[in-house]
Chain A
Amino acid sequence: MIQAAVFYLFAAVVVLSGLMVILAKNPVHSVLWLILAFFNAAGLFLVIGAEFVAMILVIVYVGAVAVLFLFVVMMLDIDFTSLRAGFSRYLPFGALLGLVLAVELVTVGFFWEFGDLALQARAAPAPGANAGLSNTQAIGTILYTDYVFIFQLAGMVLLTAMIGAIVLTLRQRPGVKRQNVAAQNARTPETSIAVTRPKVGAGVDTDGGVK
């Protein structure tokens, strides 16, 4: 009973905050609602007993991805009137897209037939859970044995994306002073201090020598 109540609570909040993402006038509010939706989706994972996935969802999506998302949206200089301006012009096209998506989802929801293997997987989402393995161990066991190739492939895709992002943003500007920590630490009093006795009014030149 409590489990069902908690499920409906989380599910309702997910749907409502998902709705608020598109209804909120302020883009920053939209992102905040999106974060609430992520958080409650993690709650839904907890309800079905997938605590590892729930925590990872919070750490990765809420703790890192959404922060950067919020970061970018916050910095935008938003003009609310121009944001609303094209509403009626784009409405038919947007409505069409939404309709197509809705029809597709309903079709999938009603006419999808699960194979035997998928039904088995649904009955025991984490293989080995019956053998007393915890959620984390079960996922680790299946990820690093049966699906290790796909796992590595996903890692490669991410690595490529990361290198691409670095290459796109890396630029070498001339004349920028960079801190060289090794060079700083290598300095000693002998190499950086010179005791001089300049004459009155003569001063020292830039090399530290007496003129």
Chain B
Amino acid sequence: MVEFFQTHLGYGLGWFLAHLILILLIALPVMLCMALSTWLDRKVWAAMMLRRGPNVVGPIGVLQPFADGLKLFLKETIVPSGANKGVFFIAPIITFVLALVAWSVIPFDAGWVLADINVGMLFIFAVSSMGVYGIIMSGWASNSKYPFLGGLRSAAQMVSYEVSLGLVIVTVVLYASSFNLTDIVESQRGNIFGLLNGNIFNPLLFPMAVVFLISALAETNRPPFDLPEAESELVAGYQIEYSSMTFALFFLGEYMNILLMCALTSILFLGGYLPPIDWAPLYYVPGLIWLFVKIVFMFFVFAWVKATVPRYRYDQLMRLGWKVFLPLSLLWVVLVSGWLVFTGHFSGGAA
């Protein structure tokens, strides 16, 4: 498509317009999926609690997120008089933009990626590590004690779990010998006796998949790690003072981050756009469908955890992050790199 625009509009302008359209082609479906994911989340919850969930707006309530969005859009934006106005408004924008930006390096199918950069994994990690600013800035700028406590909690929590998240990513990157997400997906093709696609079927990487999933829950502030917004103690944490669209941006950013983490789990451990079994007929199904199915499955797991697991106490959360996951993932990096050197994985590589 880039070539098509460039032949008609010249090099620079063609490149610009083509990428603008590609960005819209990614951002709009992602936002639609995110809206529907809030509906799916509530439906899964409701089913696990033997309720019906949203069922009034549209068939089986599927239009509920749009009704909610319209309602929020029409509400009044209230700014607390003691708030630090500039920072107060920048915070939700940061959360939303960062959540959207990371999708630019996600490979949706072989070659279907907006920015095929060779440090794609690091890019996502960098973006997700900046996500904490939206929360910490909103917590401080609200000038109110519950948001402040929520912001502090979230800063400590996200920094703690990022460490183990990074080490888990290192193990996968060692297997793939590349930071490029497409390379990481391709490295999982038929790597288990040529039968299964996906690092999760690799006994050495399976524990890391579990650690990654739990750390991803903590990183996205999902239950059982939703202490920054724990409603029973902090009312809603850093979101308290936000109303109308500023709240909506937080809400959307949060769900988009969850979808991103689901996509990342699919790409790192479930084989991304590859079918789970390395069997020729399955490759007739487009890779986009496989990735979508995997993301929906991971999202179901996120909702499942939310519906069934009670919230962690804060000291237990920190203990899990620093005393269990950090040593475990550090040990696993040594183990995986030792195994790869032992089996001569690197001998054929460029290094």
Residues of A within 8 A of B (CB): 2, 26, 28-29, 32, 35, 51-52, 55-56, 58-59, 62-64, 67-68, 70-71, 74-75, 132-137, 140-141, 179, 181
Contacts and interface: CB of A to CB of B under 8 A. Distances in A.
B152 to A, nearest CB: 7
A74 B129 contact: no
Interface in B104-152: 117-119, 122-123, 125-126, 129-130, 132-133, 136-137, 140, 148, 151-152
A68 B156 CA distance: 8
Contact of A52 (B122, B159, B315, B350): B122
A58 B136 contact: no
By DSSP majority rule, is chain A's interface helix, strand, loop, or mixed?
Answer: helix
17 contacts: A28-B87, A52-B119, A52-B122, A55-B126, A59-B126, A62-B130, A63-B129, A63-B159, A67-B133, A68-B159, A71-B152, A74-B136, A74-B151, A132-B350, A136-B179, A179-B315, A179-B316
A58 B129 contact: yes
A55 B126 CA distance: 6
Interface in B1-28: 12
B130 A55 contact: no
B162 interface: yes
Nearest to B127: A58
B351 interface: yes
Nearest to B166: A59
Given A55-B123, A67-B155, A62 B351 contact: no
Contact of B136 (A55, A71, A135): A71
B118 A64 contact: no
B180 to A, nearest CB: 9
A135 B119 CA distance: 9
Contacts of A141: 351
Contacts of A67: 132-133, 136, 155, 158-159
A58 B126 contact: yes
Interface size class of B (residues with CB under 8 A): 20 to 34
A62 B131 CA distance: 10
Interface of B: 12, 84, 87, 117-119, 122-123, 125-126, 129-130, 132-133, 136-137, 140, 148, 151-152, 155-156, 158-159, 162, 166, 179, 315-316, 319, 350-351
Listed residue (B87, B130, B158) with the most chain A CB atoms within 10 angstroms of its CB: B130
A134 B118 contact: yes
Nearest to B152: A71
Given A133-B350, A136-B179, A70 B126 contact: no
A56 B122 contact: yes
Closest 3 CB pairs of A and B: A63-B129, A55-B122, A58-B126
Contacts of A74: 136, 140, 148, 151-152
B191 to A, nearest CB: 21
A64 B162 contact: yes
Given A63-B126, A63-B162, 13 more contacts: A28-B84, A32-B137, A51-B117, A55-B119, A55-B126, A58-B129, A62-B126, A64-B162, A67-B158, A74-B152, A132-B350, A134-B118, A179-B315
B159 A64 contact: yes
A158 B319 CA distance: 23
A138 to B, nearest CB: 10
Contacts of A62: 126, 129-130
B155 A71 contact: yes
Contacts of A2: 12
A57 to B, nearest CB: 9
A62 B179 CA distance: 20
A75 B145 CA distance: 12
Nearest to B140: A74
A70 B134 CA distance: 12
Contacts of A56: 122
Contacts of A26: 84
Contacts of B140: 28, 74
A129 to B, nearest CB: 12
Contacts of A59: 122, 125-126, 129, 166
Contacts of A35: 133
Listed residue (B137, B162, B351) with the most chain A CB atoms within 10 angstroms of its CB: B351
